[in-house]
Amino acid sequence: MKQTKNKGIYIIGAGFAGRQLGEEIRNKNIFGNLLGYLDDDETLGGTTLTGVPVYTPISSILKIQKANPADEAIIAVPQASHEQLRRIYNLVTRSGISKTRFLPTVSQIIDGNAHLIQTRELSAEDLLRRDPVVIHLKKSLEYLRGRRVLITGAGGSIGSELSRQLLSGGAERLYLFDNGENNIYEIEKELKLLQKEGVGEKATIVPVLGDLRDREYTKFILNRLKADVIFHCAAYKHVPMLEHNPVEAVKNNIFGTLNLVDAAQEAGASRFVLISTDKAVNPSSVYGASKTLAEEIVLSQKNSNTDFMVVRFGNVLGSRGSIVPLFQKQILTGGPVTVTHPDVTRFFMTIPEASSLVLKAGGVGLGGNLYILEMGAPIRIQDLARQMIRFYGFEPNKEIDINFIGLRPGEKITETLWADDESPEKTEYSGISLLQRSLRFNGELNSLLDDLNTTCYLHPGKESNYRNRIKVREFLSRYIPSLEIPEDEPEY
């Protein structure tokens, strides 16, 4: 802490959020020395906030930094568009300030208060995003007030962001369920720090280690926890990895979901929200097929006291194992940046935006419905690579090469958010559409699940195709014709 006391800090943005961060820096006296605020509101120029000068416009940082240099800038403009954020970041970079943090979009500050623990370093995906749909979450989360909320996969990218946003939503208990102890440890630690800053301090945070593939344990723990609302984020999702491990994909993504659905009904949960993906549409990969079946399991629940619904969306920028962190590593090690195909495109949205819309849909959605999040136009991955290379100060194909390596098993050139027999309808809620569809598999879902169960699990005393990945693909492709079958897959 001694090293930070003499660190000079400028806050970009003299609005409510910036002032709150400034007060925290001054009151705690451990983060550094606040040198001033910068804002584009000319009426603030020459004034002070609790004795700290306000400089205008923001572009004046170029000369102010020379006169009174700082070590760090914090961008506290949570409603900034991506163009505004890019302009501010470029100004800070040109001024010579070595470190930049920012306060993420207003959707994350659902209790109306900004804290330094909420800031993080700016990265490429923050500058590449489209302008997010702003969700006023405090009102949207009223359905969770006083309730017990369970998030599976709570340590993952979407699960952890849901946890952050849920913290101050008024939940009585927040159950963080994951099968990775480090994942839970990290998000629990972060949430506890937020509580120390006054965010959701009344909520009880409960870490829960477990594996949804264990059917009896899943039933036991849900009966013990008595969760009212469940957000099911847990899934294996790496497409090429699951092509090599289809049995584990089925066990985790399909039977894990089935176990959780059955346990939720038995335990009396009122709402169940499955997080799904555009790869479930006409799936070519085992991952996509597993999510198609997971959707069907959830939506086929009839005559239940639990409202089961699905929220489907595309890729999220910066999620673990996704393309943005991969490109970042490749750029920082000198390249090349690898792109599968010159024309490959994907839908993208930010993690906070996706999480906000999931929480909104969970409150306004009706049981038995599938909702899709509006993703805007798809982004060409080659263009994403070029923008990221420039973000880090290099010139594409001159200083950092872009190499095309070909599509990997199970991958498509383009993705879609709905199939030909599905029809999206606008809802009254911005960013959320209802997908009109019919149940799939012609009433043979249970037959397919029985076949997969025989293939994936050992049943003593019975002839079994236990752990035969060729049989898994055979059963899946019988019901999902779009699934691609490798020509030379070894059996094990």
**DSSP secondary structure string, 185-222?**
HHHHHHHHHHHHTTSSTTSEEEEEE--TT-HHHHHHHH
- For residue 57, the enclosing domain spans 2-128
Give 469's pLDDT tier (boundaries 50, 70, 90): confident
Backbone dihedral region for residue 318 (phi beyond 0: left; psi -120 to 50: alpha; all else: beta)? left
- Which of 110, 128, 146 delimits the end of a domain? 128
Is 490 inside any structural domain? no
Is 488 inside any structural domain? no
The Cα 3–Cα 22 span in angstroms is: 19
Is 51 inside any structural domain? yes
89, pLDDT greater than 70: yes
- Among residues 482, 452, 476, the alpha carbon closest in space to that of 464 is found at 452
Structure-model confidence comparison of residues 372 and 122, the more confident one: 372
| Same domain? 363 vs 229 | yes
| Same domain? 208 vs 336 | yes
Is 123 inside any structural domain? yes
| Same domain? 35 vs 53 | yes
Contact 135, 360 (CB under 8 A): yes
Angle at 458 between CA 456 and CA 459, to 5 degrees: 125
As a whole number, mean pLDDT of residues 14-35 equals 87
- Which of 406, 421, 436 delimits the end of a domain? 436
- Residue 142 one-letter amino acid: E
CATH number at residue 81: 3.40.50.720
| Same domain? 28 vs 90 | yes
136, pLDDT greater than 70: no
The Cα 243–Cα 153 span in angstroms is: 21
| Same domain? 387 vs 305 | yes
Instruction: Work out how many domains the chain is built from and give that number.
Output: 3
104, pLDDT greater than 80: no
How confident is the model at residue 106, as a pLDDT? 46
Average pLDDT, the chain: 88
29, pLDDT greater than 90: no
How confident is the model at residue 420, as a pLDDT? 92
The Cα 366–Cα 304 span in angstroms is: 13
| Same domain? 188 vs 295 | yes
| Same domain? 448 vs 361 | no
Query: Using the 8-state DSSP alphabet, how is residue 378 labeled?
Result: -
- Which of 436, 456, 471 delimits the end of a domain? 436
User: What would you measure as the largest C-alpha separation in the chain, in angstroms?
Assistant: 84
- Among residues 215, 216, 229, the alpha carbon closest in space to that of 152 is found at 229
Query: Using the 8-state DSSP alphabet, how is residue 261 labeled?
Result: H
Structure-model confidence comparison of residues 465 and 207, the more confident one: 207
Specify the long-range contacts of residues 211-216, CB closer than 8 Å, at least 24 apart.
211/179, 211/256, 212/152, 212/179, 212/252, 212/256, 212/257, 212/259, 212/260, 213/251, 213/252, 213/255, 213/256, 213/259, 214/259, 215/255, 215/259, 215/262
The Cα 73–Cα 157 span in angstroms is: 26
Contact 73, 10 (CB under 8 A): yes
Token pair recorded at residue 106: 């207003």
Tell me the pTM: 0.83
| Same domain? 185 vs 101 | no
Contact 475, 448 (CB under 8 A): yes
| Same domain? 108 vs 157 | no
| Same domain? 119 vs 184 | no
Is 196 inside any structural domain? yes
How confident is the model at residue 251, as a pLDDT? 97
Positions marked active-site: 279
- Among residues 300, 236, 311, 303, the alpha carbon closest in space to that of 278 is found at 311
Is 491 inside any structural domain? no
249, pLDDT greater than 90: yes
Neighbour count for residue 229 (Cβ, 10 Å) = 24
| Same domain? 413 vs 365 | yes
**Neighbouring residues of 127: CB distance < 8 A, sequence distance ≥ 6:** 82, 85, 86, 89, 387, 391
pLDDT in tens, 266-321: 999 999 999 999 999 999 999 999 999 999 999 999 888 999 999 999 988 767 76
| Same domain? 461 vs 407 | no
The Cα 75–Cα 89 span in angstroms is: 8
108, pLDDT greater than 80: no
Structure-model confidence comparison of residues 86 and 232, the more confident one: 232
Is 281 inside any structural domain? yes
Q: How far is CA 381 from the centre of its chain?
A: 19
Is 484 inside any structural domain? no
